[in-house]
Amino acid sequence: MARRRSGRQSATAGTPHVAKSRKRVKKKKTADTFDARQAALDANLAEDYAYDAIDFALNAIDEAESAALTAMYARASTVAQRV
């Protein structure tokens, strides 16, 4: 007896539909890899910006401390000259 064919082809068959599906999967994997690399680069850039912001804030604190000390010295000098 002859076997009946189901009309469906196996997933490994070399049909245009399977080839198209494989291309889509490969493209998706490539896109995901690119997105992951871009996300890593963006994360590194964000981290660099954060460190720059910290440095900027620390420098601002140093400047504020210097200005306060200068004002205190100026006040002390003015008081000393009056006496």
Angstrom CA distances, 80 to 66, 67, 69, 71, 75, stand at 21, 20, 16, 14, 9
Q: What is the pTM of this model?
A: 0.53
State the burial class of residue 18 (Cβ atoms within 10 Å of its Cβ: 0-12, 13-18, 19+): middle
Share of the chain above pLDDT 70, in %: 82
- pLDDT band, very low/low/confident/very high, at 12 (cuts 50, 70, 90): low
